[in-house]
Structure 1
Amino acid sequence: MTDRRATAARKPEERGTADELTRRLFHGLPRTDQRRWAGAYVTGLLTTPGRKSVRNMGLSLYDSHTAFQSLHQVVSESTWSWSAVRRELADWCRERTALHGWALGRVTVPKRGRCSAGVHRRFDPATGRTVGCQLGLGLFLLTERGALPVDWRLYLPDEWLDDPTLRRRARIPETARPGSPARLMLDLAAAADGSAAPVVAEAETVTEAAELVEGLGALGTDWILSVPGATPVSAGLHRLARTPAGRAPAGRALTAADLARQLQGSARPLGPATPEAPRLLPAQVHTAQSAAPLRMAASWAPGHRTPQRIWLTSLHGERLGEAAPLFTGHAVGTDALAGLDDCGLRDFEGRSYPGWHRHMTLVSAAYGHRLLEPARTRGTVPASTGRPAAELVGAGTSGAWAA
């Protein structure tokens, strides 16, 4: 990478932005130019107005029309390991805020054309349309300041792994193997071990719910999973007969929505007793994939019998009560996604698999700095959220989970 210190002096007003964080994250990078330009990239994501393209960031940070080339190279063409930087980022975040849980979230990144790694046609629930996109799966720390991403996986449909030409052009490593989005989320959940905090996730389909229930149970971690109403369940002591993932047993199986309607009158509030708050059903629940009994919670709109949302969880007793705020809202709130967008989440212009991972790592670092540094130094809510970030995981948390 070319050293442009003589021609690309950083503007004085940008000096010092995120310097402490970038020194911490990039001290292990083998080359001085890698450390310098990775830090500049984070600063650009934090301070450049509008779209965070490498050209815009280069012009915003430096008195040079060629600085963008180094910003592009440190992400798309460099060799540094994003995994080590993400581990450092997770440690840095946990030193500055209490951990209440881990969340598994998904991010749809619209893309034109077919050249960016992992791009495919997919239904986007947020827009109600089928779009060409990349699908990113993220591991988030759930904290009193908000949801902070610390690890990522990129979903690769079979055609990207089976076609040698596509694989070579996108620089997809041999270690990348086929796997559903749920399998990638479970891979992320496995990286969250070493903490008693529960994992929070959302299944979009019955099949995905079955895969996540089985996989999270196998990891041995506590978890809270939002599931579709059509998820087959049984109440009481008997486990459902095992069937292929997501397929209902023979005959008309009891669904989670059926059980919620039957027990609505005897469900008790889980946390503050507001009309639409989650309520805990008075029964132990089994699915075909759960070796141990589960608990089930649901929320209803006033005057309705069909639940708005349903959760299955491995938590019981006091731990279930302590985790009540984690049932509120979605695993990763819209404010967190909006804040990540403001840090350039969807602005990466490169096409390679390594480039995507390095960009997402640096976006996560920028967002972590934006949320945690103001909280630590001034006690204020970051301007990007517009409301206390504790609301992203529910207000009134009784305390952090021990590491």
Structure 2
Amino acid sequence: MTEKQLSGVSRRLERFLHDLVEPMGRSERRHWAQVYIQGLLLDGQRKSVQPIAERIAGADEQALNQFLNQSPWEVTEIQRRLARRLADDGAGPVYWVIDETSFPKAGKQSVGVARQYCGAQGKIANCQVAVSLHWSQNEVSHPVSWRLFLPQEWTADPARRRQARIPPEAVHRTKQALALELIDQAQAWSLPGGTVLADSAYGNDFEFRAALRARKLSYAVAVEPSSVVWLEEPSVPLPPRTGKKGRPWRHPPLADMPAVRSLLAVAGGLPPPTWRTVTWRAGTKGAQSSRFALVRVWAAHGWKQRPKAPPARVREWLLIQWPKDQAQPCDYWLLWRPANDSAPSLRSAAHAARGRWRIEQDYRELKDELGLDHFEGRGWLGWHHHVTLVSLAFCFLRSEQARAKKNFRGELADDAPPAPSQPDQNGGPMSVVPGML
């Protein structure tokens, strides 16, 4: 935003933030929260404390730095209020999208920084990694909350913990565990549930999917083509015990189990009528469509390992995308719905599986427009304060976009001619409903 644009929305920004920043307590904290968010919204190459203080008239760099990095205000209640605001506005979620993003760093002092896979650079690099939960709807999505991934080299080092002021309860957890924490938090806030979407880093994890099923959450998660499945239920009866001293069988013999197939083999063995062309959304470059097939499967993760407690084998639906002009399928997903034995429609399955595109757009806007990755502090508290304030700025922008679109549609409604008609299948006129196509 330019200074003129920011001035034009200043009162709406104040009203937007009034209840959200109330948990910060002191009035000066609420004041500096609005100043910081104004700095995030204003045009500028860097969105860290010093450049923000230089851009905002009357801002004090020392006060902003103290507010961001030292002031002990909690982020959880602010995030909860923001999430509830979205729900109260009638923006019921369709999908809960789990993903992670990285923050490249030059030094070793920033909390959680380590040499690890950095998605921003596409390689192993020095960076921080955060897991986020986004609430996605038909047209927009919003970040709900965040978890900073702490490598073991951080959690096992008391000196680094003290220096970054990492709280005792923050221990090393896998990214899948952090994702489940975010989901549990959203459920504890009584947010309307949505289908969980995630990439193969989460979808490949058998335990992660089992945890979603235990929470009665639908999911559509990507999996790698190296995954293996059964096409029939692997409920083979155990052989009878041999002799009085023979141990009872825990697993049926491997030779008695159904054949295990790779996902590529499953795709190659499907008859032509199984494949159908589906359009899952209308993009800026035209309709997005491809060939899909939906198959009932049972995941065969670790089927040769023979654990003492055999995992429950649950039926899932395998969705495969195989464009006509490609030699092999390009993507695979596993889907599950609680208490529903029927298959989802192919279109709804494709829509869900392809619903993750919004989070990549969110990350791009959060970083390029609002400085999500511009935080220059080193501490645990400051990092969480920064990403929470960036989320508030992002959701305010989304509310302004929705307001502008509503006004634009209102102007069209006042000036536009009546909607044209199209013949239905029976030859009669069919009114075109806005948003229907």
TM-score by length of 1: 0.81
- Alpha-carbon contact 1:138-1:185 (below 8 Å) kept: yes
Partners of 2:97 and 2:144 lie apart in 1 by 10
Deviation at 1:268, TM superposition (A): 4.1
171-180 or 185-194, which moves further after superposition?
A: 185-194
Q: Establish whether residue 204 from structure 1 lines up as the match of residue 230 from structure 2.
A: no
Which residue is 2:316 aligned to?
294
Given the superposition, is the C-alpha separation of residues 223 and 205 from structure 1 closer, same or farther in structure 2, using an over 3 Å criterion?
Answer: closer
Q: Deviations over 1:124-156 (max 9, x none)?
A: 345332211000100000023322101000000
Which residue is 2:231 aligned to?
235
Given the superposition, is the C-alpha separation of residues 151 and 372 from structure 1 closer, same or farther in structure 2, using an over 3 Å criterion?
Answer: same
The letter of the residue matching 2:386 is H
225-234 or 80-89, which moves further after superposition?
A: 225-234
- Of 140, 150, 153, the match for 2:147: 153
Partners of 2:277 and 2:294 lie apart in 1 by 10
Q: How does 1:176-187 map to 2 (within 5 A)?
A: 176-187=170-181
Deviation at 1:328, TM superposition (A): 1.6
Q: Structure 2: which 5+ runs fail to align?
A: 1-5, 237-256, 281-286, 302-310, 409-433
Instruction: Determine which structure has the larger strand proportion and give its number.
Output: 2
Q: How does 1:35-54 map to 2 (within 5 A)?
A: 35-54=30-49
Deviation at 1:282, TM superposition (A): 3.2
- Alpha-carbon contact 2:93-2:193 (below 8 Å) kept: no
Q: How does 1:5-20 map to 2 (within 5 A)?
A: 15-16=10-11, 18-20=13-15
Given the superposition, is the C-alpha separation of residues 12 and 101 from structure 1 closer, same or farther in structure 2, using an over 3 Å criterion?
Answer: closer
256-265 or 142-151, which moves further after superposition?
A: 256-265
Q: How does 1:52-131 map to 2 (within 5 A)?
A: 52-63=47-58, 67-96=60-89, 97-131=91-125
Partners of 2:132 and 2:327 lie apart in 1 by 34
- Of 329, 332, 353, the match for 1:327: 353
Which residue is 2:378 aligned to?
351
* SS in structure 2 at match of 1:192: helix
Given the superposition, is the C-alpha separation of residues 318 and 366 from structure 1 closer, same or farther in structure 2, using an over 3 Å criterion?
Answer: farther
Partners of 1:278 and 1:147 lie apart in 2 by 26
- Alpha-carbon contact 1:48-1:60 (below 8 Å) kept: no
The letter of the residue matching 2:290 is A
Which residue is 1:362 aligned to?
389
The letter of the residue matching 2:23 is G
- Alpha-carbon contact 2:279-2:289 (below 8 Å) kept: no
137-146 or 191-200, which moves further after superposition?
A: 191-200
Structure with the bigger RCO (C-alpha within 8 Å, sep 6+) is 1
Partners of 1:373 and 1:127 lie apart in 2 by 32
Kindly, what percent of the aligned residue pairs are identical?
25
Which residue is 1:34 aligned to?
29
Partners of 2:270 and 2:119 lie apart in 1 by 29
Task: Figure out how many residues of one structure are paired with residues of the other and give that number.
Answer: 363
Q: How does 1:264-303 map to 2 (within 5 A)?
A: 265-269=272-276, 271-272=278-279, 277=290, 279-288=292-301, 291-303=313-325
Deviation at 1:332, TM superposition (A): 4.4
134-143 or 336-345, which moves further after superposition?
A: 336-345
* SS in structure 2 at match of 1:294: strand
* SS in structure 1 at match of 2:125: strand
Deviation at 1:378, TM superposition (A): 4.2
Partners of 2:407 and 2:363 lie apart in 1 by 20
Given the superposition, is the C-alpha separation of residues 308 and 145 from structure 1 closer, same or farther in structure 2, using an over 3 Å criterion?
Answer: same
Given the superposition, is the C-alpha separation of residues 72 and 126 from structure 1 closer, same or farther in structure 2, using an over 3 Å criterion?
Answer: closer
Deviation at 1:185, TM superposition (A): 1.1
* SS in structure 2 at match of 1:349: coil
Q: Establish whether residue 379 from structure 1 lines up as the match of residue 392 from structure 2.
A: no
- Alpha-carbon contact 2:197-2:355 (below 8 Å) kept: no
Given the superposition, is the C-alpha separation of residues 221 and 277 from structure 1 closer, same or farther in structure 2, using an over 3 Å criterion?
Answer: same
Q: Deviations over 1:57-114 (max 9, x none)?
A: 11211245xx122222222111111000000111122233342111001111111111
Partners of 2:136 and 2:7 lie apart in 1 by 35
Given the superposition, is the C-alpha separation of residues 364 and 254 from structure 1 closer, same or farther in structure 2, using an over 3 Å criterion?
Answer: same
Deviation at 1:261, TM superposition (A): 2.7
TM-score by length of 2: 0.75
Partners of 2:36 and 2:291 lie apart in 1 by 42
Q: Structure 1: which 5+ runs fail to align?
A: 1-10, 241-249, 382-395, 399-403
Q: Establish whether residue 255 from structure 1 lines up as the match of residue 262 from structure 2.
A: yes
Given the superposition, is the C-alpha separation of residues 176 and 304 from structure 1 closer, same or farther in structure 2, using an over 3 Å criterion?
Answer: same
Q: Deviations over 1:237-259 (max 9, x none)?
A: 1279xxxxxxxxx9995222332
81-90 or 279-288, which moves further after superposition?
A: 279-288
Partners of 1:77 and 1:14 lie apart in 2 by 29
- Alpha-carbon contact 2:277-2:289 (below 8 Å) kept: no
Partners of 1:75 and 1:256 lie apart in 2 by 48
- Alpha-carbon contact 2:219-2:335 (below 8 Å) kept: yes
Partners of 1:123 and 1:24 lie apart in 2 by 38
The letter of the residue matching 1:102 is W
* SS in structure 2 at match of 1:233: strand
Q: Establish whether residue 174 from structure 1 lines up as the match of residue 187 from structure 2.
A: no
The letter of the residue matching 1:370 is L
Which residue is 1:214 aligned to?
210
Partners of 2:146 and 2:400 lie apart in 1 by 22
